[in-house]
Amino acid sequence: MKIELYDTTLRDGAQTQGISFSVSDKIRVTEKLDILGIHYIEGGWPGANPKDIDFFKRAKKLKLKNAKLAAFGSTRRADTDVSRDVTLKGLLSADTEVVTIFGKSWGLHVKEVLKTTLEENLKMIEESVKYLKSKGKCTMFDAEHFFDAYKENREYAIKTLLAASNGGADRIILCDTNGGTLTSCIFDVVEDVKKKVNVPLGIHSHNDADMAVANSISAVQAGCIQVHGTFNGYGERCGNANLVSVIGNLKLKMGIDCISDLSLKDLTETSYYIAEICNMKLADNQPFVGNSAFAHKAGVHVNAIVKNPKTYEHIEPARVGNRRTLLISELSGKSSILEKAKEINLGLDKSTPNTKKILEELQKLEHGGYHFETAEASLELFMKRALKKFKSFFELKDFRVIIEKGQKSRGGITSEATIKVKVNDKIEHTASLGDGPVNALDNALRKALKDFYPSLSEMHLTDFKVRVIDEKVGTAAKVRVLIESQDKTDTWWTIGVSENIIEASWQALVDSVEYKLLKDTEKA
């Protein structure tokens, strides 16, 4: 059984609140999807805006190996000759092998939105498809709002599909445009349509009822041979069917070779790549590819996972390019500690007294506001410090941060940090300005250490998060600071907790720098 994957990230996905693709972004996404093995990539609506026009011009130079590019648009307008219709002309100007047009299958839209008759709508569909076929295009018809239309007037909804079939459509796509149809209904309707329409069918599901992936899989089980979706489920309102999960389920649960085994291992990397281009953080709990998809926290779970991963994992993480993570927290047991110790070569076992000691100290810290499952760099430093297997690279003597607003700062706010540290029995005393107090501290610390540790120039902070742990205490509450750092090869998170935000930031900052230096030492 062959299933076609039709990606509409560049069109439907672009309608996500907060996403705006440049033409270069769209080219990069197209190339990435082609490498993965997606069969059809919907590039946008040519003629709708200058960006999409430019994209299709530039896309002509692409040498795609697996995918066919599709231009998207609508049927002709009511009471308009197909050869004079602006939308159809725009589709042809895109010069793609594949064209996808949508038409109305629901009488409500025909009457209330198009303001035309049901009969004219059928002509619009058939004539538009026939015209595009006469121009040599592989033509796909999206039956918009089909499942709602089927519920209201089954006979007319089927007529719209037959109109597309009579026009010569290569594929007819049943769309759950409002995203509110239940899975059992999807299956029954697809089975019924298959008996009446001879054209291969596809499914296009939206996620307003959180059913899009399930509905897509159900449609395949009922006989659809093409699945529409977007990467990471991007799309208007609640999004579209998440093509990542669709691929995972088709390939690993149903045994359908929609992409190769080799490409499947790139699924996680592709998901993150597209999220980065979209400037959207990938949800940690996204199935198959998220950071938490194979993360285990409870002690009972970790203990079982160590013995046999099948006990709490539905697939092997590596098959989709992901990895297993054993989280360390107050919920952890000795198994979590031992696995982490094994990972960083600390040589602990169940009988080692230090194992219990580390767990007890860890639970105290978590009770006090630490959250090591999101700061693995600080966790490694904590364990090595507890076992006296870590020697600090520098010693803080004191620091001071001055924040000033006034005439000297020309109406703005200036931050200055003065720091004194001891390195190899030598005292370094430096001062530095910054955009804020943490930035000033970071600059001053680097300035003090640069001659001793030149590799710090490769490192920079990429994210900074603050959370109040107990808001009931008001301004006296403890705060948790998380800092993300990056160098040429790695990214890591560190943590600090204190009633003083500067102190918490300093703790996280020091861990960040010391982890970088530890990494460099171990690689040497």
Burial of 474 (0-12, 13-18, 19+ CB in 10 A): exposed
Q: Are residues 161 and 233 in the same domain?
A: yes
pLDDT tier at 127, thresholds 50, 70, 90: very high
Domain boundary among 259, 281, 310: 259
Instruction: Specify whether the CB–CB gap between 121 and 164 falls below 8 A.
Output: no
Q: Which domain holds residue 517?
A: 395-523
- Whether 317 contacts 323, CB under 8 Å: yes
Task: Find out whether 458 and 485 touch, Cβ atoms under 8 Å.
Answer: no
8 in the same domain as 127 = yes
More confident residue, 499 or 207: 207
**Which ranges constitute the DSSP H helices of 387-489?**
437-449
What's the chain's average pLDDT?
90
**Top-ranked range on mean pLDDT: pick from 191-200, 286-295, 407-416:** 191-200
For residues 445-452, give the mean pLDDT. 93
Which of 121-130, 271-280, 357-366, 433-442 has the lowest average pLDDT? Answer: 357-366
Is residue 111 located within the same domain as residue 193? yes
Cα 253 to Cα 350: distance, rounded to the nearest angstrom: 37
Average pLDDT over residues 192-216: 98
Confidence at 498, pLDDT banded by 50, 70, 90: very high
pLDDT at 266 over 80: yes
Give the separation between CA 508 and CA 513, rounded to whole angstroms. Answer: 9
pLDDT tier, 389 (very low <50, low <70, confident <90, very high otherwise): confident
Residue 304's CB is within 10 A of a number of other CB atoms, namely: 16
CATH of residue 353: 4.10.430.20
| Domain co-membership, 70 together with 171 | yes
359 contact partners, CB below 8 Å, separation of at least 6: 332, 333, 334, 337
Q: Which of 93, 79, 104, 180 minimizes the C-alpha distance to 132?
A: 93
pLDDT-derived band at 380 (thresholds 50, 70, 90) equals confident
End-to-end CA distance of the chain: 52
State whether 410 and 500 are in the same domain: yes
Structure tokens at 229: 């979706």
Q: What CA–CA distances, in Å, run from 103 to 72, 78, 126, 277?
A: 12, 11, 10, 31
pLDDT above 60 (res 1): yes
pTM metric for this prediction: 0.72
Say whether pLDDT at 476 is over 80.
no
pLDDT reported for residue 337: 67
How far is Cα 483 from Cα 492, in angstroms, rounded to an integer? 8
Q: Check pLDDT > 80 for residue 242.
A: yes
- The CA distances from residue 464 to 150, 386, 417, 476, 496, in Å, are 51, 26, 18, 21, 11
Contacts of 378 by beta carbon, 8 Å cutoff, 6+ apart: 370, 372, 493, 494, 495, 508, 511, 515
Mean pLDDT is lowest, of 118-132, 134-148, 241-255, 473-487, for 473-487
Regarding whether 305 and 235 lie in a shared domain, the answer is no
Q: In the prediction, which pLDDT does 263 show?
A: 96
Q: Which carries the bigger pLDDT value, residue 149 or residue 477?
A: 149
Q: What single letter denotes the amino acid at residue 351?
A: S
Measured CA to CA, the distance from residue 524 to residue 509 in angstroms comes to 23
In a domain, 388, yes or no: no
Confidence of residue 300 (pLDDT cuts 50, 70, 90): confident
Tell me the C-alpha distance between 21 and 45, whole Å. 14
3-state SS assignment for residue 107 = helix
Nearest to 186 by CA among 244, 227, 132: 227
Whether the pLDDT of residue 164 is over 90: the answer is yes
CA distances from 342 to 280, 300, 327, 338, 345 (A): 34, 18, 14, 6, 5
Structure tokens at 338: 């031992």
Residue 141 lies in a domain: yes
In this structure, the number of other CB atoms found within 10 A of the CB of residue 310 comes to 11
- Residue 323: what residue type? R
Same domain (yes/no): 208, 347: no
What is the number of residues in the chain? 524
3-state secondary structure (DSSP) of residue 331: coil
Question: How much of the chain, in percent, has pLDDT values that exceed 90?
Answer: 67
The pLDDT of residue 497 is 93
| Banded pLDDT at 87 (limits 50, 70, 90) | very high
Rounded Cα gap, residues 3 and 380, in angstroms: 45
Nearest to 205 by CA among 235, 184, 232, 225: 235
| Helix, strand or coil, per DSSP, at residue 144 | strand
The CA-based diameter of the chain, rounded to the nearest angstrom, is 90
> What's the pLDDT at 148?
97
Give the Cα-Cα-Cα angle 69, 73, 76 (nearest 5 degrees).
140
Q: What per-residue confidence (pLDDT) applies to 291?
A: 81
- Number of structural domains in the chain: 3
Same domain? 320 vs 417: no
Model pLDDT, residue 327? 65
pLDDT of res. 39: 98
pLDDT of 10 > 90? The answer is: yes
pLDDT of residue 342: 74
Looking at 119-123, 168-172, 499-503, which range is the least confident one? 499-503
**pLDDT of 431 above 90:** yes
Question: Residue range 177-206: average pLDDT?
Answer: 98
Can you tell me which residue has the tokens 């006979």? Answer: 155
Both 350 and 477 in one domain: the answer is no
What pLDDT shows up at residue 409?
Answer: 55
- How large a percentage of the chain has pLDDT more than 70? 92
For residues 29 and 129, membership in a common domain is answered with yes
Task: Tell me: do 75 and 207 sit in the same domain.
Answer: yes
Above 70 in pLDDT, residue 220? yes
Q: What is the DSSP letter of 319?
A: G
pLDDT band (50, 70, 90) for residue 329: low
Mark whether 333 and 480 lie in a shared domain: no
Cα separations (Å) of 415 from 268, 441, 502? 41, 9, 12
Query: What confidence score (pLDDT) does residue 89 get?
Result: 95
pLDDT of residue 477: 76
Q: Tens of pLDDT along 43-60?
A: 999 977 889 999 999 999
